[in-house]
Amino acid sequence: MATVHVSFDQTAYDVKINNTAHTRIGSEILAVWPLRKIALLTDSHVGPLYLTKTQQQLEAAGFDVLPLQVPAGEQSKSLTVAGDLIAKMAKAGFTRGDGLIALGGGVVGDLGGVVASLYMRGIGFIQIATSLTAQVDSSVGGKTAVNLGDTKNIAGTFYQPDLVLVDSTYLDTLTDRDLVEGYGEVVKTSALDSQEFFDFTGTIKSIHDIRVHAQELSQRAIAYKAKIVMRDEKEAGQRQYLNFGHTIGHAIELLAHGELRHGEAVAIGMIAMTERMARDGVSSDDLTTALKARLEAVGLPTSSNLIGTSEFFDHLINDKKNRGGILNLVALKKIGNPVIVQKSMADMPTFIK
């Protein structure tokens, strides 16, 4: 069991990483929240597996629980769904002293964070991370967001949770594809962090290996992410590094209309970026090969013909690292050494070619 403490000027919380939290949800939540109403948000895949057990534990501890379930999948990250959840909480009489727990993957976490941060201008928020993406990345750091039309994460807030529970037991029911998607973010983090972490992902040769080492992967990835977000909560500088692979990744994730998962698109984005940065002399030549080997070992995609289409360039404008037509692209000079490279939107077609 490991605990990563995340602290900011105004708030602090623990990320508890173990394989037992699912058996003592009541006491874990009671340790950070006095008794209150809880909106327990989940999705249509996680709900049938874990909602009742979680609700029972919370009720046994004395909490008053409103279960809320949304359809599984990226399309639930919308303002319409968020509005509907807020209306249900208002109808149930939630006040500012109450809270929301997101029980699920990155979709439920991002959506739940938006709802918690907007409801009466902010109520308590806790994440119980059930997918690998959530356990290695999305549950920590306070980025919440929904999509609007075909623009990814365009409306959101920075809103830190009060507690994050990362219990690898939940991964037993996660499909291989959903697990592997989360591993794309692990490879990203290992490359940003250090040669030591990157060497460790080099030992992961199969989906089985991801499952065996899930807890250690979470510990290492969360430790790095926590260090970065504590230095730069609102992404004014170093936090942009966590977006490695995402400028290209988010554009093709949207263009694929549900055919590509987030972590798959990020895997393609990292390779596209590193190849082009090697051509520009920024990245070292062997970096693309090393990244590709890790991603392809578990079946992640590393190329896409969606890159470079006119719709692709249209999407780049909404990247949050765009400042007045100048894109701040994350590149790796070498492992453990990310840098920001600026390119104007006008230069992107030549760069991407």
Ligand X SMILES: NC(=O)c1ccc[n+]([C@@H]2O[C@H](COP(=O)([O-])OP(=O)(O)OC[C@H]3O[C@@H](n4cnc5c(N)ncnc54)[C@H](O)[C@@H]3O)[C@@H](O)[C@H]2O)c1
Residues that bind ligand X (CB under 6 A): 43, 45-46, 49, 72-74, 77, 104-108, 110, 130-131, 133-134, 137-138, 141, 143, 170, 173-174, 178, 181-182, 185, 262
Torsional class of 77: left (φ above 0), alpha (ψ -120 to 50), beta (otherwise): beta
Residues 336/198, Cβ–Cβ less than 8 Å: yes
Instruction: Determine the Cα–Cα distance for residues 193 and 188; give it in Å rounded to an integer.
Output: 9
Pick 111 or 335: Cβ nearer ligand X: 111
Instruction: Determine the Cα–Cα distance for residues 38 and 34; give it in Å rounded to an integer.
Output: 11
The answer to whether 15 is annotated as binding is no
Residues 164/15, Cβ–Cβ less than 8 Å: yes
Strand partners, 348: none
Which member of 45, 246, 261, 276 binds ligand LNCXM5UN (CB under 6 A)? 246
- The sheet carrying 326-334 orders its strands as 322-323, 326-334, 337-344
- The neighbour count for residue 100, using CB atoms within 10 Å, is 26
Residues 105/135, Cβ–Cβ less than 8 Å: no
Pick 204 or 260: Cβ nearer ligand X: 260
Which member of 306, 320, 343, 348 binds ligand LNCXM5UN (CB under 6 A)? 320
The answer to whether 143 is annotated as binding is yes
Q: In one letter, which amino acid is 56?
A: Q
Pick 246 or 343: Cβ nearer ligand LNCXM5UN: 246
Q: Could you tell me the smallest distance in angstroms from the CB atom of residue 246 to ligand LNCXM5UN?
A: 5
Q: How many residues bind ligand LNCXM5UN (CB under 6 A)?
A: 12
What does 133 bind: ligand X, ligand LNCXM5UN, none (CB cut-off 5 to 8 Å by kind)? ligand X
What does 130 bind: ligand X, ligand LNCXM5UN, none (CB cut-off 5 to 8 Å by kind)? ligand X
Site string for ligand LNCXM5UN, 135-174 (x = CB under 6 A): --x---x-x-x-------x---------------------
Helix or strand (DSSP H, E) at 37: strand 37-43
Q: Is 121 exposed, middle or buried (0-12, 13-18, 19+ CB in 10 A)?
A: exposed
The answer to whether 304 is annotated as binding is no
Q: Residues comprising the binding site for Zn(2+)?
A: 185, 246, 262
Residue list for the binding site for NAD(+)? 106-110, 130-131, 143, 152
